[in-house]
């Protein structure tokens, strides 16, 4: 047995009762009291740690934001930074940056742009007319109040194939005025222009008691008198629907039928034989063959650039119709003939 030194301060006296003071006056805690002290410190520390950390944790801030409405801050963001976010704008990334070309609908300082009605029509400045006959309305009837201008044929060069016909008709006053001042020889002919050319060339002689009215030709239309005259003299007709279609392109064979009908040319006794001089007369409708043959036999046909190509379905140009009307006036003895390699004998 080993004896402990007599001055060992921490050696308990086994003969002394628990909790009794030592000879020096220091009270020794037993196990139960020491455990209670430790648990007390642990509890106090836990309370302090919970209280200090509660205001800094992201999930605590998110819980408060959810109760009051808002988005939780990013991880690591403190509550002070969260409060600052409510007043300072943040930089938007590409995915959440609004487009610059979209105005703010709630902004009272920027007026909203006026929206056009869905069914508002846009009036084209020019329309290309196809070779085949087609309805092409370039001017609505309620807006067709344009007046004519004095005709100027300076846009027809002397080298143009139809210049001799155009110059002769212009000098003798057989060409009408159009809404535009230029003649535009290669422009496709419309039904209104054909009526104007016919009325100017063959005079104004409407039939007695005839009443001409079309749903798409108002009284203020620039060619309304010419259309009434051409229809009354049987050069032209309206459509069964009650319209005239003034801006529709006119195919070449219809021009020849119109002249043959209005001039009362005798129908050809052998139209197929007469039409054999053209390499492309096959597509002609049966009802038009006799009229076209009669126009051919009376010297009204002028074909450019090939004399044997009738091109019946192609839209006639102003130059072509003037050349044909010129030939009709020559046949009536009102104009002298001009030499041209494109007239069909």
Dump pLDDT digits (tens) for 271-310. 999 999 999 999 999 999 999 999 999 999 999 999 999 9
Written as six digits, the tokens of 274 are 């007469």
Q: What is the pLDDT of residue 90?
A: 44
Q: What percent of the chain has pLDDT over 90?
A: 51
**Alpha-carbon gap, residue 217 to 225, rounded angstroms:** 10
Residue 83, pLDDT > 60, answer: no
Res. 332: pLDDT tops 70: yes
For the stretch 202-255, pLDDT in tens is 987 655 555 678 999 999 999 999 999 999 999 999 999 999 999 999 999 999
87 vs 272 pLDDT, higher one: 272
pLDDT value, residue 268: 87
Indicate if the pLDDT at residue 105 is higher than 60: no
Identify the CA nearest to 258 among candidates 321, 343, 186: 321
Residue 124 corresponds to which tokens in the numbers above?
């084209």
- b/e per residue 279-310 (b: at least 16 CB within 10 A): ebbeebeeebbbbbbbbbbbbbbbbbeebeeb
Identify the residue with better confidence: 155 or 78: 155
DSSP 110: S
Q: What is the model's pLDDT at position 167?
A: 97
Among 28-32, 90-94, 174-178, the minimum mean pLDDT is found in 90-94
Q: How confident is the model at residue 61 (pLDDT cuts 50, 70, 90)?
A: very low
Residue 336: pLDDT over 70: yes
Query: If you average pLDDT over every residue of the chain, what do you get?
Result: 75
pTM over 0.75: no
pLDDT bin (cut points 50, 70, 90) of residue 108 is very low
Provide the 3-class DSSP secondary structure of residue 48: helix
């Amino acid at each position: 047995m080993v004896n402990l030194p007599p001055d060992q301060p921490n050696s308990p006296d086994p003969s002394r009762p628990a909790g009794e003071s030592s000879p020096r006056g220091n009270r020794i805690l037993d196990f139960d009291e020491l455990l209670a002290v430790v648990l007390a410190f642990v509890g106090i520390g836990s309370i302090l740690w919970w209280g200090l950390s509660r205001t800094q944790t992201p999930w605590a801030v998110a819980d408060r934001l959810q109760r009051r409405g808002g988005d939780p801050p990013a991880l690591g963001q403190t509550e002070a930074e969260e409060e600052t976010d409510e007043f300072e704008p943040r930089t938007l990334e590409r995915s959440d940056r609004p487009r610059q070309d979209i105005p703010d609908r709630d902004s009272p300082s920027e007026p909203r742009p006026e929206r056009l009605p869905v069914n508002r029509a846009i009036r084209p400045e020019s329309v290309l007319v196809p070779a085949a006959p087609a309805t092409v309305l370039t001017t609505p009837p309620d807006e067709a109040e344009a007046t004519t201008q004095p005709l100027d044929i300076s846009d027809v060069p002397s080298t143009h194939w139809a210049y001799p016909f155009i110059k002769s008709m212009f000098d003798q006053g057989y060409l009408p005025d159009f809404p535009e001042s230029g003649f535009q020889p290669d422009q496709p002919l419309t039904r209104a222009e054909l009526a104007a050319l016919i009325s100017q060339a063959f005079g104004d002689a409407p039939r007695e008691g005839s009443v001409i009215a079309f749903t798409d030709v108002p009284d203020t239309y620039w060619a309304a008198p010419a259309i009434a005259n051409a229809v009354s003299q049987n050069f032209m007709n309206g459509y069964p629907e009650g319209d005239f279609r003034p801006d529709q392109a006119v195919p070449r064979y219809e021009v020849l039928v119109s002249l043959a009908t209005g001039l009362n040319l005798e129908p050809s006794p052998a139209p197929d034989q007469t039409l054999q001089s053209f390499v492309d007369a096959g597509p002609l409708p049966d009802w038009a063959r006799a009229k076209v043959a009669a126009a051919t036999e009376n010297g009204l046909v002028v074909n450019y650039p090939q004399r044997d190509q009738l091109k019946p379905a192609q839209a006639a140009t102003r130059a072509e119709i003037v050349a044909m009307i010129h030939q009709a006036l020559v046949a009536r003895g009102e104009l002298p003939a001009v030499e041209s390699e494109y007239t069909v004998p």
